[in-house]
Amino acid sequence: MQEHGFSSGLKAGASIAIGYFPVALTFGLLAKTTGLSLIEATAMSIFVFAGAAQYISLSLITAGVLPVLIVVNTFIVNIRHFLMTAALNEKMEPDARWKKALYAFGITDETFTVLATQPGDKIRTSFAAGVIVISYGSWVVFTSLGHLIGASLPAFLQASMSIALYAMFVGLLVPSMKGNRKVVSLALIAALFNSMFYFTGWLSTGWAIMVSTLASAIVIEMISRKGVAA
């Protein structure tokens, strides 16, 4: 077996699977209370596989919003993935377009961050497949389970596990931050922009993350090219 292939990907994606567990479980439960059947809730996780957009769709269904507007909203929430997959493309090994079209389905905020922060030059397609399979599996299985059980975790565990994905983001960021002022600045500036958008309410979450990220990436690049930072 080659290194950094499918099974390494499964390992690297384990944190995502843990983080998706409470989120998917709660989604299944909320879907049930919204009136979705087990099949409908699971189908949404199988075909859409986008946490934030799925959650929002439930509240919009409850509010009686037109389905076509829910679709439009889903697109708006997910526009940020244009930026992420364009960035990811620089990191992935060249491969047949059909394979890339296939694993593109599995790119979420979480799988993107795990893939894009891997050390080394290029990521193999099989590694990406591993990260995606374990994440997607967790998302779909625990959506069903949440609907079936119709209850969430004990309150203290539900509360503590809600940190999981954020802890993962921190765990991915910190090793690159050490001794690298450019990485620290990139994360810090994006965090400040995003906080500004959040507290002023100027942009909704999906847009805010994309604009903050892009602004930080461009500003820091311009500064570091002048030899000030980095």
Partner 1 sequence: MGAWFWWMIFGMAVVTYIPRAIPLTFLEGRELPEAVQNVLRNIPYAVLGALIFPAVFFIQENVWFGVIGAVSAFAIAFAGANVILVVLGTIAILSVYGLWFG
> In the window 118-177, what residues touch partner 1 (CB under 8 A)?
155-157, 159-164, 166-176
Q: Which stretch binds partner 1 (CB under 8 A): 1-9, 135-143, 144-152, 181-189?
A: 181-189
Angle at the Cα of 85 from the Cα atoms of 201 and 202, rounded to 5 degrees: 10
The answer to whether 147 touches 32, Cβ cutoff 8 Å, is yes
Dihedral angle, C-alpha 28, 29, 33, 39, nearest 10 °: 30
**Nearest-approach distance from CB 200 to partner 1, in angstroms:** 12
Out of 87, 145, 149, 223, the only residue in the binding site for partner 1 (CB under 8 A) is: 87
| Segment interacting with partner 1 (CB under 8 A) among 2-10, 133-141, 142-150, 210-218 | 210-218
Residues 56-75 that bind partner 1 (CB under 8 A): 57, 67-68, 70-72, 74-75
For helices 205-225 and 80-91, give the axis angle rounded to 10 degrees.
Answer: 40
Q: Which is nearer to partner 1, 141 or 211 (CB)?
A: 211
Number of chain residues interacting with partner 1 (CB under 8 A):
100
Closer CB to partner 1, 2 or 195, in the complex: 195
CB of 122 to partner 1, least distance (A): 13
- 4, 5, 7, 18: residue in contact with partner 1 (rule CB under 8 A): 18
Contact 191, 166 (CB under 8 A): no
HSE-CB at 132 with a 13 A cutoff on CA atoms is 19
* Selected range binding partner 1 among 2-10, 140-148, 193-201, rule: CB under 8 A: 193-201
* Contact between 83 and partner 1 per CB under 8 A: yes
Tell me the Cα Rg of the chain: 19
Q: For partner 1, which stretch binds (CB under 8 A), given 1-9, 114-122, 139-147?
A: 114-122
Contacts of 56 (CB under 8 A, 6+ apart): 73, 74, 77
Instruction: Measure the CA angle with vertex 169, ends 46 and 199; round to 5°.
Output: 95
